[in-house]
A and B are shown apart, each in its own frame.
Chain A
Amino acid sequence: MFIFRGANEQYSMGPEEMQQHMQKWLAWVAALQNKKIYAGGHPLLPYGKTVQGKKPIVTDGPFAESKELVGGYFIIKAASMEEATEIAKDCPDLPLGGAVEVREVMQLD
């Protein structure tokens, strides 16, 4: 699983840059699909609530730090963690200060 965070630089991009950035993403996803690597994913809306504490306290917004904000996730098929990590290096968000967390989904048989 790829979990995408940050990429804050896109907040200050002009429309043309945004479009180019999006097109990079579309091309990346298309390439992953063609190679049958991509298995799905979802974007996450930026707002939400956080519930924590023994006596649960509900706060607005996922987390205070926007650079920590999770923008969405992909499920991909890879033979190993190394292979998955290599694939993640092509993520178009990386040059914009973004990060990809690569995690293995545990198979429960």
Chain B
Amino acid sequence: MEATPGHTKHHVNAIVDHLFRHESGKMVAVLTRIFGMHNLEMVEDVVQEAFLRATQTWVFNAVPDNPAAWLMQVAKNRAIDIIRRQQHFAQYSRELAHQLEQETEHTVQQFFSETEIADSQLRMIFACCHPALKEEDQVALTLKTVSGFGIAEIARALVTNEAVIQKRLYRARQFLKERNIALEIPAGNELTQRLESVYTILYLLFNEGYNSGKADELIRKDLCAEAMRLCLLLSTHKAGNRPATFALLSLMCFHASRFESRVSEQNDIILLPGQDRSKWDRELISRGYYYLNKSSEGEELTIYHLESAIAAEHCLAPEFASTNWQRLLQLYDMLLEIKHTPQVLLNRAIVVAQLHSIATAINEIKQIENIDQLLRTQYIFPAVLGDLYWRLGDHEQAKPLLEAALQLTTSQAEKKLIAEKLEKLTHTHLN
């Protein structure tokens, strides 16, 4: 055996971050469109094989100039190969067999154009967000099939264990298979409804990355980036380039711009008033404004429009003190009309505390429906109410609330933040 002389040219082409993940989503989408949802498992095997082939070949023989195209080519060849094997062309005359083979190749080829690949991905997103599926199953399935996350990564991102994710995926896939859900983009009214589910899932993915203090920072960033990537994909497709999509995208841009400033080097949470606004990503903020502008081309006013406008208002203020609280209150009032939830009421109360008085804010929180239960079960409620009492100097009321919040949160950073407040509280008591 002789050493390969070609190896001297071994130069390591840079492989872009997440190439495999992103290509996995593309390949799975195109191949599923060709072979049908009932063949999803086979499709995933084909994709896995392509990666194995890449790993082996590239290591020995240099990374190709266009790694993405290389992978897609392997997937395409394999697809043609599978179809050929199942079609018994050879039993006909040589001439016909030849023609049929050519036609098969040509037909398969068409699915691999840029536009068709994007189209297939979108169809896949729509299928994963099928309204008959549970939301948690939709999330897991989207991350796996559309985003190319591994089981372990999904478990890490959603802060659960791999068995739970396996179960969700199994359930979701069984459903798609049994109902043989077609990979298609719904039309008319059905499209509008399906888009609603897609928005919900993308919003959930983003929030999971942005707010969950439980998952590690790296995977959280990946989740946010992935939600933004899919939303961008949606916004560039004719089925998805609607005001609501742009509103959601702008909301994500505004929030993402603050990603770096929310956590200190010691991994402590930095709240809005204390954030170094010079660390906010200007590029993302201007993209946020761009999409917010685009989202206003139409009659539609969705929760994403309003939440984005609220986020924009914060980005607009050069410092916390100059925040336009009046405008924020208006926006929260508008949001309440279409999203009347305890969380929105709680956030509105925080604005009231800034604009009017802390006592009024406390009063409003106390009037939230089922507040007693919320204070016992969702950490953010006792945390916010406790903080308001604390700022008011009413330590007696603040203490049990902050203690309850401390019990309820699983995030270490949140725990630390609340514990520090409690600490100060005891100190002032002693004095």
Contact = CB atoms under 8 A, between A and B. Distances in A.
Interface of A: 1, 10-11, 13-19, 21-23, 25-26, 29-30, 33, 38-43, 71-73, 75, 105
B148 A10 contact: no
Nearest to A19: B20
A22 B59 CA distance: 7
A10 B12 CA distance: 22
Secondary structure type dominating chain B contacts: helix
Interface in B362-400: none
Contacts of A40: 2-5, 7
Contacts of B23: 15
Contact of B59 (A13, A14, A29, A105): A29
B21 A10 contact: no
Interface string B39-68: 000000000100110111111110100000
Contacts of A21: 55
Given A21-B55, A33-B10, A16 B149 contact: yes
Interface stretch (B73-81, B116-124, B150-158): B150-158
A21 to B, nearest CB: 7
Interface of B: 1-5, 7, 10, 12, 15, 18-21, 23-24, 48, 51-52, 54-61, 63, 148-153
A14 to B, nearest CB: 2
A10 B55 contact: yes
B48 A11 contact: yes
A13 B23 CA distance: 15
Contacts of B48: 11
B59 A16 contact: no
Given A10-B55, A38-B7, A43-B57, A19 B12 contact: no
